[in-house]
């Protein structure tokens, strides 16, 4: 492929990535605005902030995972079309609700309502990610790099089931529900070597 | 065209796109700051947030449409000059008022005043987009890719008329006015295949 | 110059531009957070917001001018070094105070104190821009494109004098002081065709 | 190396840089939101804002140093892998806490608790930077440009010791502790010419 054409397609995709990076960067950063310095100044005064801090850490890791996988997925994408642009915006929409749910969970020390809503937004984001994946594969063909790289996609299939379970569990025991969110994050935290490996093979 | 020169022009344009992406990414994300977790923690406590949420969804879709069309329009742009830079900033100015009007409408459950002002900002943004389009076509020539791609531009001509109608209607029935905003969004949501098609032809 | 080398230098500079764009995009957008929807919902309720709105418009234009000129100046820059990086951060520091001074002026309907402080930040930003210009020229040589393009730089020399005058005037008549800020913005608004022209000549 | 391949790797890295730039740009800018215009409008009314302003200046310089060094370090990086992506996110996490600690220190006029916590976050960020450095060197090899450029890395080794000292000192005399933070910033402010010099040699 001539350099100019390669460059051209890369630039196209580049803008989608740049915009997504911008939105994700803002989401990941404004969540910290929920952390407000207490009026007292001793270290113990920070203790009530602990649940806010922990929910921030969890959401930071989640947004980090999404950014990471988004990075890998688009790395394996060649053409960008209208459906991909909108599927991407749809994903960003659900991610943009993370600061809201994170703040609500943190302020209320893991109450049932906020924990369930936190899970609903996680579920919707997972669904949106799946739809984006579909849109990209539809544009590249079933034999494409991405389709191969995904393989059985067991993580992508297991996560929604775990989220659903956790949403129901939130009304029984919000701590177990929250633990399930941590578990899903841990599953994904192990970086998605699948795409990386296939790309390395090619290069 | 040699690769280096092509790259050079693309980079020029690239910074305009990057800055616009940054501003639009922030606009689309800070709107969510209006959504504040209620003090109660049952799911029913979210009910009063519904109008805030719906106005957020509508504005998110509008900003998404602008970003999408901006993306396509600049994709068909070759040269960037001073008038284009300022026409672009002018568009960003009106878009930057979206979080304000979105918040005002959401908090006041679709009262006449906020709904009318929401429409005025939509109208001004549409006007600014039109002026940017003019500035780009002026820089590229009437026979340019963009001029061809736009064709009759019926969407661009219909929208301001609908906005104006809705602004007047807001004082009669704000619900019909809001419905008109949803209608315009729906018209644009159908992606602007015109430019995409002409570009595909060329490639 | 071979394409790869050209590309390499452009990428180097690119990151400086991208970071600056990011910071400027956020500055220009968070200023709008000062605009808060009033509790009443009639159009007349917006009247007290007018000074906040006008100070937002003025600051938006100022930040737009800085972005525009920054864009042109870096377009004419080849090498980026440590001094340029820090001179750039220094400029961003003063620009980052715009939301603060804009908010203070807007809330206090053009009182002497806020108007003077608004001018001091404008003056410091102008000084920082001048230092960045020096750092770039020092890195490119006096015969460089940028040095030629700037010529006598009468705007750059006149602005600080006008700012200083306005800062003193703020304590006599804040309206005349504010008018002076509008005047300086108007002088710069006329885009800096100097650099554009020299660049066009070269291409 | 052919231009296209070079371009490809650069683009890969580019997205990591772009995302980091976005997050750092937001961090550096939202810190200014702590500066709130006082209700009185005389210049003297700004005096209570002085500690907030000074802690903002110090944190701005720190974030500037991190951006600068990050810029240089990634400039000397060729391949980006999963470990680097996560090490980078880990660094961004600690940097994202700067607005919180800056606000807490500023509001409480350098009390022991906030000053110590400010130091703890500085320490963790330094540690995260060190881990990112390790991850990059592990990916490039010990003979790499970056490994050479770092040399003995005395700054990187001295800083954590000084931070630790300052954290303990905060409970004895928060002013000396704060002075230590200023000292570390001053040590780093002298730009990291090491990497720059090695890069220049190569070019």
Find the residue in A nearest to B75 (Cα): A12
pLDDT in tens, C170-199: 999 999 999 999 999 988 886 555 555 665
Longest dimension (CA), chain B: 63
Annotate chain C with three-state secondary structure. CCHHHHHHHHHHHHHHHHHHHHHHHHHHHHHHHHCCCCCCCCHHHHHHHHHHHHHHHHHHHHHHHHHHHHHHHHHCCCCCCHHHHHHHHHHHHHHHCHHHHHHHHHHCCCCHHHHHHHHHHHHHHHHHHHHHHHHHHHHHCCCCHHHHHHCCCHHHHHHHHHHHHHHHHCCCCHHHHHHHHHHHHHHHHCCCHHHHHHHHHHC
**Which pLDDT belongs to residue D9?**
53
Q: Average pLDDT, whole number, for chain A?
A: 84
pLDDT in tens, C112-168: 999 999 999 999 999 999 999 999 988 776 666 677 767 677 888 889 999 999 999
Interface residues from chain A to B (CB-CB < 8 Å): 3-4, 7-8, 11-12, 14-16, 18-19, 22-23, 25-27, 30, 33, 81-83, 85-86, 89, 92-93, 96-97, 99-100, 103-104, 107-108, 111-114, 116-117
For testing contact with chain D, the best of C19, C116, C128 (most D CBs within 10 A): C19
**Measured between CA atoms, how close is C22 to chain B, in angstroms?**
6
Sort out which chain C residues have CB atoms less than 8 A from B18's CB and list them: 17-18, 21
Residues D181 and D160: their CA atoms lie apart, in Å, by 11
Residues D182 and B117: their CA atoms lie apart, in Å, by 48
User: Is residue D159's pLDDT more than 80?
Assistant: yes
Sort out which chain A residues have CB atoms less than 8 A from D19's CB and list them: 21, 24-25, 67
Sort out which chain D residues have CB atoms less than 8 A from A3's CB and list them: 3-4, 7
Sort out which chain D residues have CB atoms less than 8 A from A25's CB and list them: 19, 22-23, 25-26
pTM of structure: 0.87
Contact D124, D160 (CB under 8 A): no
**Which pLDDT belongs to residue A4?**
42
Find the residue in C nearest to D31 (Cα): C96
Contact A68/D89, CB-based, under 8 Å?
yes
> Percent of chain D, pLDDT > 70?
82
**Measured between CA atoms, how close is D165 to chain C, in angstroms?**
28
User: Is residue A123's pLDDT more than 70?
Assistant: yes
Looking at residues D173-181, what average pLDDT do you find?
94
Return the minimum-mean-pLDDT range out of A4-13, C46-55, C153-162, D127-136. A4-13
Residue among D18, D57, D192 whose CB faces C18 most closely: D18
Contact B189, B58 (CB under 8 A): no
Residue-level pLDDT, tens digit, chain B, 203 residues: 344 444 445 556 888 888 899 999 999 998 988 888 888 888 888 888 898 999 999 999 999 999 988 988 888 787 788 889 899 999 999 999 999 999 999 888 788 999 999 999 999 999 999 999 999 988 776 666 677 767 677 888 889 999 999 999 999 999 999 999 999 998 887 655 555 566 556 54
Sort out which chain B residues have CB atoms less than 8 A from A14's CB and list them: 14
For residue A180, name the pLDDT band (cuts at 50, 70, 90). very high
For residue A142, name the pLDDT band (cuts at 50, 70, 90). low
**Measured between CA atoms, how close is C151 to chain D, in angstroms?**
31
**Which pLDDT belongs to residue B75?**
80
For residue D143, name the pLDDT band (cuts at 50, 70, 90). low
Residues D82 and A68: their CA atoms lie apart, in Å, by 8
Sort out which chain A residues have CB atoms less than 8 A from D174's CB and list them: none
**Which pLDDT belongs to residue C5?**
44
**Which pLDDT belongs to residue A175?**
93
Residue scoring higher pLDDT (D82 or A120): A120
From residue D59, alpha-carbon distances to D96, D103, D106, D110 in Å are: 11, 10, 11, 14
**Measured between CA atoms, how close is A112 to chain D, in angstroms?**
27
**Which pLDDT belongs to residue C194?**
58
**Which pLDDT belongs to residue B157?**
85
pLDDT in tens, D99-121: 999 999 988 878 899 999 999 99
Looking at residues D66-95, what average pLDDT do you find?
88
For residue A33, name the pLDDT band (cuts at 50, 70, 90). confident
């Amino acid at each position: 492929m001539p350099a100019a054409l390669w460059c051209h397609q890369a630039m196209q995709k580049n803008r989608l990535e740049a915009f997504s990076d911008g939105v994700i960067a803002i989401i990941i950063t404004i969540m910290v605005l929920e952390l407000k310095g207490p009026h007292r100044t001793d270290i113990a005064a920070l203790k009530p902030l602990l649940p806010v801090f922990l929910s921030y850490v969890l959401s930071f890791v989640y947004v980090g995972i999404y950014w990471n996988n988004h990075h890998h997925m688009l790395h394996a994408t060649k053409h960008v079309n209208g459906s991909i642009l909108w599927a991407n915006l749809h994903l960003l929409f659900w991610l943009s609700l993370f600061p809201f749910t994170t703040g609500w969970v943190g302020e209320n020390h893991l109450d049932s309502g906020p924990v369930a809503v936190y899970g609903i937004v996680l579920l919707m984001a997972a669904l949106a990610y799946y739809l984006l994946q579909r849109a990209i594969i539809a544009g590249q063909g079933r034999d494409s790099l991405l389709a191969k790289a995904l393989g059985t996609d067991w993580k992508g299939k297991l996560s929604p089931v775990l989220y659903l379970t956790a949403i129901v569990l939130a009304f029984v025991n919000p701590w177990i529900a929250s633990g399930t969110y941590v578990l899903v994050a841990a599953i994904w935290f192990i970086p998605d070597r699948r795409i990386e490996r296939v790309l390395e093979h090619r290069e």
